[in-house]
């Protein structure tokens, strides 16, 4: 897993090549909505892009993490089917509904049943390299979603310029990223991490939570500001040195959100002294997103080392799939 994290900038470069070389067969048309269906490591890229397109797309962009698609999906919908393995039970079920609804479908996968169905039905299917844990392939899948949205004229952005800029940043900051990640991992050891972020970086916060779960083998939770100011903040009442708050921050966070973050720190300090702030670097949105993703990925694998856990192992998920296969 460490090598996969190290190679993240290389993966982004390879993802660009895949996207640039893919030739879409679906014709451009006016859509009324976009639904990305995918779970776990295959779906989190959709959540991050949902944050990105919030103020850029004129139609709804929905991320679906279920067996079922929303009832509004029809022939005027674009459904992006994202499953790294190509065999995700929930995603294959949702894909069948998309077919019945006569939606325009674009698949992003490394193979499996989804690639087979795409070939049979003559659907667009962007293939990414196989043989890795899905959570380690975020760059491959997420970049293809951006190329898909660009192909259909749903976003106007220079993907190549944005991603190449982020790659350059990650390479130049490589040593400092690992140094900062090690310091955070040491502070989180033996603690219950609680991750907070601004709304437009919630996808990144969820990604961090998932990486702590799968790589570090730990429970944690996340919330966003300002929403948590209307509920969770009241839950801070008992002193607990085992809790550690991590706030993901950006110089571009909305000014009122910044103010709330500072007030939240004053409240939370009464109950735990473990408050860690991780500031992003870079100029563009994607600089900041990929910087935080790369740094927090490093936190999760270094924390696994400290805890003497195998960051790659996910036996309990394999057990779950085995039990489901019996029914």
pLDDT at site 27: 84
- Tell me the average pLDDT across 254-275: 98
Per residue in 221-247, pLDDT tens?
999 999 999 999 999 999 999 999 999
Catalytic positions are 214, 230, 321
Cβ atoms within 10 Å, residue 91: 29
Which residues are 104's β-sheet partners? 78
For residue 28, name the pLDDT band (cuts at 50, 70, 90): confident
pTM value? 0.95
Q: Looking at domain 172-306, which CATH architecture does it have?
A: 3-Layer(aba) Sandwich (3.40)
Could you identify the residue written with the tokens 């962009």? 61
Q: How many angstroms separate the Cα of 6 from the Cα of each of 12, 67, 170, 294?
A: 12, 34, 10, 9
Residues 6+ apart with CB under 8 A from 49: 36, 61, 142, 145, 146, 149, 203
> 172-306: same fold as 8-157?
yes
**CATH fold group of domain 8-157:** Rossmann fold (3.40.50)
Helices H / strands E in the chain, number of each: 13, 9
Per residue in 160-171, pLDDT tens?
999 999 999 999
- DSSP, collapsed to helix, strand or coil, labels residue 35 as strand
- DSSP, collapsed to helix, strand or coil, labels residue 239 as coil
Per residue in 207-224, pLDDT tens?
999 999 999 999 999 999
For 218-260, strand residue ranges (E) read 221-224, 243-249
- The domain spans of the chain are 8-157, 172-306
- Taking a C-beta distance cutoff of 8 angstroms, is the pair 166, 35 a contact? no
pLDDT at site 179: 98
Could you identify the residue written with the tokens 């991780």? 278
CA dihedral 281, 284, 286, 291 (to 10 degrees): -10
Flag whether pLDDT at 157 surpasses 90. no
Percent of the chain with pLDDT over 90: 91
Whole-number mean pLDDT of the chain?
96
């Amino acid at each position: 897993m460490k090598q996969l994290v190290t190679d993240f900038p290389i993966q982004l470069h390879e993802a660009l090549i895949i996207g640039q070389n893919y030739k879409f067969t679906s014709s451009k048309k006016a859509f009324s909505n976009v639904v990305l269906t995918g779970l776990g490591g295959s779906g989190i890229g959709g959540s991050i892009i949902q944050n990105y397109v919030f103020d850029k797309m004129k139609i709804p962009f929905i991320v679906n993490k279920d067996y079922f698609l929303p009832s509004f999906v029809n022939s005027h919908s674009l459904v992006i089917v994202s499953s790294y393995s190509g065999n995700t039970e929930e995603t294959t079920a949702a894909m069948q509904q998309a077919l019945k609804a006569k939606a325009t479908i674009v698949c992003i996968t490394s193979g499996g049943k989804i690639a087979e169905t795409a070939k049979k039905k003559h659907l667009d299917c962007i293939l990414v390299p196989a043989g890795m844990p899905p959570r380690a392939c975020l760059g491959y899948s997420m970049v293809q979603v951006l190329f898909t949205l660009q192909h259909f004229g749903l976003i106007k952005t220079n993907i190549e310029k944005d991603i190449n800029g982020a790659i350059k940043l990650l390479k130049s900051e490589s040593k400092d990223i690992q140094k900062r990640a090690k310091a955070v991992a040491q502070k989180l050891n033996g603690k219950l991490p609680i991750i907070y972020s601004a709304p437009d970086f919630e996808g990144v916060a969820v990604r961090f939570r998932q990486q702590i779960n799968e790589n570090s083998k730990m429970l944690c939770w996340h919330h966003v500001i300002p929403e948590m100011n209307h509920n969770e903040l009241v839950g801070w009442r008992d002193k607990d040195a085992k809790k550690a708050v991590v706030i993901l921050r950006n110089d571009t966070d909305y000014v009122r959100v910044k103010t709330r973050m500072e007030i939240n720190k004053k409240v939370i300090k009464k109950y735990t002294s473990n408050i860690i702030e991780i500031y992003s670097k870079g100029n563009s949105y994607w600089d900041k997103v990929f910087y935080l993703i790369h740094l927090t990925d490093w936190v999760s694998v270094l924390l696994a080392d400290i805890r003497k856990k195998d960051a790659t192992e996910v036996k309990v998920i394999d057990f779950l799939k085995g039990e489901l296969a019996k029914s």
